[in-house]
Amino acid sequence: MTLSAELLAKLLAAAIRFSSLPPMDVADLPPIEQLSAQALSEKVCPDEPARCSTMAALFDTEGYRIYLRDSLNPADPMDNSFIVHELVHVLQYRKYGPDHFTNCHRRIDSENQAYFVQNNYLGEEGVDWREGYLVRFMRCPDDESGHPDELRRDE
């Protein structure tokens, strides 16, 4: 997948418009690295890569980098919606800082916002599909230590 500057600007504009987060210039975006599905799964879930085999994209807050599955098609709005989702996380990072992603409740809120934006982008592109269903089942531990690894799903 090769992202043109024009496409990246369009996707960033959608992320800004639907999130109402402060704008940023495309030139200030983090580096974008493309990985195979296997490599992305291993990066997201190093202990259980099979658990993350459907991942399409990731914003790494520690390394300030976006990882994309190399099979994404830049002509496909569905595939681009995953990039929009990660761009929302970049905007959140720039507004709130890296600590925003270390608290479980804020992490769930950030996912809700990113899925909201992703779904609005899909609707604008005429795609009748919605992402983020499983986020409604995410719960934080009762003691709320804030560590993101303690995020769990009630199933």
Residue 145 pLDDT: 53
Do 106 and 114 meet the contact criterion of CB atoms below 8 Å apart?
no
Do 89 and 60 meet the contact criterion of CB atoms below 8 Å apart?
no
Cα separation, 73 vs 43, whole angstroms:
21
The Cβ of residue 75 has, within 10 Å, a number of other Cβ atoms equal to 8
Which two tokens mark 155?
A: 């199933």
Residue 137 pLDDT: 85
pTM over cut 0.75: yes
Q: What is the pLDDT along the chain (155 residues), one digit of tens a residue?
A: 679 999 999 999 999 999 999 999 999 999 999 999 999 999 999 999 999 999 999 999 999 999 999 999 999 999 999 999 999 999 999 999 999 999 999 999 999 999 999 999 999 999 998 988 888 888 898 765 544 444 444 43
Region of residue 128 (left: phi > 0; alpha: psi -120 to 50; beta: else): beta
Q: Find residue 33's DSSP bridge partners.
A: 67
Q: How many CA atoms lie within 13 A of 49 on its CB side?
A: 9
Q: Is 58 exposed, middle or buried (0-12, 13-18, 19+ CB in 10 A)?
A: buried
Residue 143 pLDDT: 62
- How far apart, in Å, are the Cα atoms of 48 and each of 41, 44, 53, 66, 118? 8, 9, 9, 21, 26
Q: How many CA atoms lie within 13 A of 84 on its CB side?
A: 31
Residue 133 pLDDT: 84
